[in-house]
Each structure stands twice: as C-alpha cells, then as structure tokens.
Structure 1
C-alpha cells in the first residue's frame, strides 16, 4: 500500500508555491509570490517551516522568505514573509534542526546565523572563496568552498573555529554527511581535473580523504555536472545526479565503489525519495518537469506533461500529516 506524502513545488510561470497531495495530485494550497522573484533553494526546519532563497530579477538582490506549511496556515491567500536581513547578499542556506536556526552563506564569503529574528556573523574566509554548500551535524559544521584554482572542504565547530580543511582540485558542487561520519563531496572539473566524488572520514575533528571516485559520461567524454547527492534511506548507497548528462551514478558506500550507472535519458536536478523508498522524484530545472524513477530497477517510470506549468528544479517532500 502506498504511503501518503505531501510536496512543495514551485511554478515559475504562475509564480506560485504549490502545496500538493502526492498520491492524488490535489492541491492543498497555492501561494503566490511576486513575479520578479525566482526561487533558488528551499530548506525545511522543524517539519513545518520552509525557508526559500530567491533572487529579485529586477534588482539582482537575493532574498529569503519564510513559508509556514502548518495546517492552520494553508489558506491559498497565505503570504510569504521576507526575513528582515538587510545589507547581506545570501547565496546558500542550510537548516540547523538541533538549534532551530538557519545558516546563511553570502556572496562575499561570509557566513551568518539567523536565529530568533536576529542575524549574527559566524565568520569570514581569510582568502577569496565562496561557500557553496553547508551541512550541520551535532556540534560540527561542514562546508565546501569554491575558489579560483579549485575547492576547499572545511570543518568548523559551532563557535566558528576552523578544525580541519582539505583542498580538492575540482570545483565542489554539493556535500552530504552520513550517520557514520562519512562525508561525500561531488565536484565538477576545471581545466586541470575531471569530475568525481571525494569520500572523507571525520576522526577527532579531522578530515581524512579516504577515496576519490572519478566520473565519466557513459555516452561520450564530456562534462556531466554532478549537481547533487541523494542518500538512500538506509544510507548505504549514494546517488549522484548528473544534471547535464541525464544519468545517475550509484555509489556503494560499504565498498566505496561505483556500483552502477543509470541512464535516465532526461536531465534532472535532484532526487527525492518517496515514503515507500522504492520510488523517487527528480525535478528538472532544465525542462521544468518531474521524472518518477523506480529506484529498484534504476529506470524512469513517467515524466509529467503539464504545458500550463513551469515547474522549477526545487521540490520538498513534507511529513504527513503536516504539524498543526
């Protein structure tokens, strides 16, 4: 029996946030946002608060909105609340469930903490670098940084102290941390390096490189852009989504080897497991649609066909029922 679930989708043509019942496709709420705003990223905190990073296409400024996905706030007229964070330009956001706070990375490389309606500086890099990914676990904050000659993986404590860092020759695209303290960092190529996945262990607050798994396009030797990483529910498998290549690399985290390459034949930007763990949904920023993938067979099942919708490459699976 299929398990119920809810989704948040973003319709770029109608400029609406779509809150949808996953099994039957009916709408719970449609929340409009300004037409000059384009959502870039979204994170869920406390099972019901969604923070949305967006860009104002008129001014070029980045903004963060708060959307309350609780049952008492599901009116179609429910409006978004922009966070009062002047004088900074957000580039990345990450949710911190333990402290119920938001970490914000800015275009100038600085990191901020948003908590209880207040913004405080967490730190700034000593060299020209921009944070392109954040993962928070316990008292540790894992970050990846893009710089001119490659990337840096840096580990901080909650006080902002740098505990460990590692240089990687490629440009990092995303990071994921398993419950076994195994850190996965995907990276795309520079003129000197190819694309791959770096696996690191964290021991006594030190990052140790375990292995690098190179990626190659199964069709021809081109850049495939490993955009995002999705962990299986059991965390024994990682799926790296190659947005430009239209395929998925399946990584066995027990053997730390590439298990399989799934040719999806369609660009997807990320991958989201459904509650039954057999199927996953892949939104496409390039084609503005959704692909349903059978995670047992590694094959696409269906692709949405909604000409009236322009679905952005953002999707959140919400807990069911949504908290009141």
Structure 2
C-alpha cells in the first residue's frame, strides 16, 4: 500500500566518535583524510570536511574506548523538528557547539540521535575561489568532501528499522533478508541519497555499537590515493578498494588510530528519486557471494565493531 512520504528530516549532519587516542585520531582525519579543525571544547575536537556547509562534520571525543556518541540529523524546518519531537520519547538540550536546541532521543539499541534545526554555518579562514563551496579544496590525502552515512550494529535490526520508519519517517531502500524472513541489515534514507543510516545485526548481541562511519570523496581516484596514503602512514587497511553489490558503493575500509572503522566512498551517490520506491531485498545466499567485484568479504568485516564487545 502506497503511503505518501513525510520529509521531516533533511540529512545526517554530523557524528561524534569516541577515541582512546585523540591526538592520533585527529592527525588521521586532518593530515590523511584532508579535514580541518573547526573548534575545540573540553575533551572534544571538531573537524570539518571541505564542502560541508555546517560548523563541523565530525566530533572526536576522548574516551577510554572507541565507539560512537551522538549522530546529529538536521530537520527540514522548525515545524518538522517539532513534529518529530512530538512522536519520539526524548528530551531537549542545548549543549553542542554550533547547534541550537537539540531533541535528543535513542533508537531501540541505545544509539543517541540528536535532531536539530538551528545550525551555525562554517566560515572559511580564507574564502575559496568558488563561492558556492564551503571551504578551499584541501589538496591532501583523501580530500574527503562530506559525511556520507552511518552504519550501526544492533541487537534487534527489525526494531531499529521500525524506529527509523515510524518515528523518524526514513525510507528503507535495500535490505538483506535471512532464510527465516527476518531482515539482518537494512539501508534507510532521509534524503534523496540511496542511504544515510544503516542497521546491521550485531553477531555478539551487544547494544549501542558502531560498524562504521563513511566519508565521501570526490572521485574514485581519491579513494585509490587514500589507500596509498594509509599504506605509507601505517594505517590498517581492512579491505578494498572494491565495489559493493548492495547500493553499488565503491569503497575502502580502514581503521582510524582509535579503532573505529572508517569507510571512504565516492561522492557520486546513487539517488532514489522514485516517490514509490520498492525496497530491494537480497537473500543470505546472494549476500554470501560477496562484493560486486573485488576480493571476497574479509571475516573481520562481520566481527569488528566499536566499542569491543563484552559478551
């Protein structure tokens, strides 16, 4: 049955990562990924990708273990923010650099999600030559352009999916369905991109863990260059560059020094323009075939998450 889409959310704005090695993690994102520092507060440093219009793209917070903090999602309007807040248990806070009132809630797995409207625009230290981009092109490392998506691990993927669909009004676009008919992974969009937020079964049954955060580069060549840059600087390359069958993403997965998995993907994202898009389902057998092309999926891709599981 067709249901008209409610577009109350605009895009995933930024994400907070915990790291036990804050200096090394900052150096990774600034020196190797091509980001810039846009602020500091307490135990956190704020980083900006060159074509992000907002104050910060990533927030690195010093903690004893790696993992994910808040994911910030911008609403489509002040009224849209109020509508989402009225349907989701949570609380209002005003405690983040560059953001106004935030409606802080949790998905069923315990991941923190902050919904907001008011935001501070990034001001470039030196104006770029092209006035329609936020900052100058960095010309170093991977030259990451923007945040692309967040992939959470979850103990109950169907429940988290219902939260996204019913509470946040996100749309599912693709999924992996096990032989018992239960989804083990689902890709959701809150924009016109084919996916913004992803839930994948956590094999340990743990709650609140991260699979990866993805940063978009301008071209595939940037990803190939990033592989060389990571090799030269002793950064662990987990797998890639390859191409996913699901969502067709060209990718490279690495571990930043704090232990969080980071995906680099090309910014030419597939778009979902059909208002009546039908979810693409992949079977367990189809998923087991691995990538569209490249090497077979490495075992750690299914087992590594942050923070480390305690079960």
TM-score past 0.5 threshold: no
Q: TM-score if structure 2 supplies the norm length?
A: 0.32
TM, length-normalised to structure 1: 0.31
Higher Rg? 1
Q: Comparing both structures, which one devotes a greater share of its residues to strand?
A: 1
Which structure exhibits the higher relative contact order, with contacts defined as CA atoms closer than 8 Å and separated by 6 or more residues?
Answer: 2
